[in-house]
């Protein structure tokens, strides 16, 4: 993971079809980037979970009613690959975020580079890093939620599945719900493979209706892990208070 720098990642990012990601986000509020990380990167990242010095805090989900399982927030400086992913994916998502905000009539506009957006978060007191590693064991789950950590919100986030479904764990699907005004909710289940990244709306997204656009509210969670152990990397682009 570290020896190679992020050369491999840079190459894989060039191969991503960002138009397809944008189309998926506009159509359903989520998109999958297949095989963003190699299996060895996934394993190396999952192995970091056992190194507490890499993290700033550990959350046991059942203590907060968030579900069952645990996660740790990385501390600054982030591991190379996590920092690399956060800064190199952001510039592709910022134009999509800006289009959404324009359609929703919301004010903030997102700068082209992640460093400038993070500087905005830090100036507002959101200074703690939010990228995280999640670890679930059999029986664990993650309740539907939104990852909001203060006034500044980047409206898209990413999850990378580090474990191999069927091999390392069964069950444990990433689930997204979309709450539409005066309508019943819609769900999307993302069957990720190891190394796949899911990009999805943090909180709200615009939907084009016959009479202009309206906002829907999104939440995400993880269904119960039936067996084994599941690790994911979460990349949230805003920092926390």
- Site residues for ligand AKG per CB under 6 A: 134, 142, 147, 159, 174, 220, 222, 232, 234
For 196, the token pair is 């796949």
Residue 177 sits in the site that holds Fe ion (CB under 5 A): no
- What's the CA gap between 201 and 167, in Å, rounded? 29
Element (H, E) at 123: helix 114-123
**Site of tokens 């069950």:** 171
Gyration radius from the chain CA atoms? 17
173 binds Fe ion (CB under 5 A): no
Q: Which residue is nearest to ligand AKG (CB)?
A: 234
- The partner in contact with residue 240, picked from Fe ion, ligand AKG, none with C-beta cut-offs of 5 to 8 angstroms by kind, is none
CA angle 48, 50, 53 (to 5 degrees): 75
d(CA 75, CA 86): 14
- Least Å from the CB of residue 171 to Fe ion: 18
Q: How far is the CB of 45 from ligand AKG (least distance, A)?
A: 13
Q: Which listed option, Fe ion, ligand AKG, none, makes contact with residue 96 (CB within 5 to 8 Å by class)?
A: none
Smallest gap from Cβ 1 to ligand AKG, in A, equals 19
Kindly state the smallest distance separating residue 235's Cβ from ligand AKG, in Å.
Answer: 8
**Per-residue CA distances from 219 to 174, 177, 190, 216 (Å):** 11, 5, 13, 10
Q: Return the number of the residue (38 or 78) whose C-beta is nearest Fe ion.
A: 78
- 57 or 208: CB nearest ligand AKG: 57
Q: Which is nearer to ligand AKG, 10 or 189 (CB)?
A: 189
In the complex, least distance from residue 174 CB atom to ligand AKG, rounded to whole angstroms = 4
Q: Which two tokens stand for residue 32?
A: 């999958």
Q: How far is the CB of 179 from ligand AKG (least distance, A)?
A: 17
Phi, psi of 124 (to 5 degrees): -95, 10
Q: Which CB, 104 or 144, lies closer to ligand AKG?
A: 144
Cα end-to-end span (Å), the chain:
30
Nearer to Fe ion, 147 or 173 (CB): 147
Q: Which of 80, 137, 147, 173 binds Fe ion (CB under 5 A)?
A: 147
How far does CA 229 lie from the centroid of its chain?
19
Residues 36-55 close enough to bind Fe ion by CB under 5 A: none
Residues 157 and 34: beta-carbon distance below 8 Å: no
Which of ligand AKG, Fe ion, none does 134 bind, CB closer than 5 to 8 A by kind? ligand AKG
Q: Are 15 and 34 in contact (CB under 8 A)?
A: no
- Binding residues for Fe ion (CB under 5 A): 147
């Amino acid at each position: 993971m570290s020896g190679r720098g992020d050369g491999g990642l840079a190459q894989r990012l060039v191969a991503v079809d960002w138009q397809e990601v944008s189309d998926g986000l506009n159509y359903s509020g989520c998109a999958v980037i297949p095989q963003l990380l190699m299996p060895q990167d996934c394993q190396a990242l999952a192995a970091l979970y056992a190194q507490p010095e890499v993290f700033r805090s550990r959350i046991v989900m059942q203590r907060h009613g968030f579900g069952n399982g645990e996660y740790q927030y990385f501390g600054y400086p982030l591991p190379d690959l996590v920092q690399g992913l956060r800064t190199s994916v952001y510039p592709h998502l910022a134009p999509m975020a800006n289009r959404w905000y324009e359609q929703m009539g919301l004010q903030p506009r997102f700068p082209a580079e992640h460093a400038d957006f993070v500087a905005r978060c830090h100036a507002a007191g959101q200074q703690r890093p939010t990228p995280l590693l999640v670890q679930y064991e059999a029986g664990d789950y993650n309740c539907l939620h939104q990852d909001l950590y203060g006034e500044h919100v980047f409206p898209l986030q990413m999850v990378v599945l580090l474990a191999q479904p069927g091999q390392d764990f069964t069950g444990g699907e990433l689930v997204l719900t979309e709450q539409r005004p005066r309508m019943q909710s819609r769900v999307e289940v993302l069957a990720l493979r190891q190394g796949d990244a899911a990009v999805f709306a943090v909180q709200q997204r615009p939907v084009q209706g016959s009479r202009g656009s309206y906002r829907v509210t999104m939440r995400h969670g993880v269904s119960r892990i039936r067996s084994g152990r599941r690790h994911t990397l979460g990349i949230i682009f805003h920092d926390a208070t």
